Amino acid sequence: MADTAFPGWHGTTILGVRRGGEVVVAGDGQVSLGQTVIKGTARKVRRLAPGGRDVVVGFAGSTADAFTLLERLEKKLEAAPGQLTRACVELAKDWRTDKYLQKLEAMLIVTDGTTLLVVTGAGDVLEPEHDVAAIGSGGNFALAAARGLMETDLPAEAIARKAMAIAADICVYTNGNLTVETIRG
């Protein structure tokens, strides 16, 4: 029996790498609908500046949902300046308990250059081990590649770019058109 459901959106690999006093967040540009590439130049890594303090966020999932979460995160950061973890925990609590937010389908990697976090709609605020975090359809490929590259002397940006290239070679929902943001702690 054929599946008549509307095909799901796929795409996105977001990778965060912390090394040498900086954090790099890289995201690919592909958005796919089913087996069709809809756009190859999407920008899924953004720099926020609530209260004058830079925060870099990469998102996977629905773009509209992610932008809703970014707006909420900015408000949380304005209410708790300089307290990234607290703002992310407050966002995750709202995301988990608010009936409107519960329907949002996205994940976030968030950093202020010191702290690196993964935030999910399940109420998770995770600080990854090994100074590497990845989300999205190619996230596991990028994570594995970056973890291996952390054993080299490469700087964070080189690790992120190489790991994302490996993910793009393996995952059909990931391309090599990168947005890369670097932030120092």
The verdict on residue 1 lying in a domain is no
The verdict on residue 41 lying in a domain is yes
Q: In terms of pLDDT, which residue wins out, 67 or 1?
A: 67
Domain count, the chain: 1
The verdict on residue 2 lying in a domain is no
The verdict on residue 100 lying in a domain is yes
Q: Catalytic: which of 12, 111, 174, 182?
A: 12
The three-state DSSP-derived secondary structure of the chain is CCCCCCCCEECCEEEEEEECCEEEEEECCCEEECCEEEECCCCCEEEECHHHCCEEEEEEECHHHHHHHHHHHHHHHHHCCCCHHHHHHHHHHHHHHCCCHHHCCEEEEEECCCCEEEEECCCCEECCHHHEEEEECCHHHHHHHHHHHCCCCCCHHHHHHHHHHHHHHHCCCCCCCCEEEEEEC
What pLDDT score does 1 carry? 44
Q: What is the pTM of this model?
A: 0.92
The verdict on residue 56 lying in a domain is yes
The verdict on residue 4 lying in a domain is no
Residue 95, domain extent: 9-184
What pLDDT score does 52 carry? 67
The verdict on residue 85 lying in a domain is yes
CATH number for the domain harbouring residue 26: 3.60.20.10
| Residues 77-91: tens digit of each pLDDT | 999 999 999 999 999
Q: Is 12 a catalytic residue?
A: yes
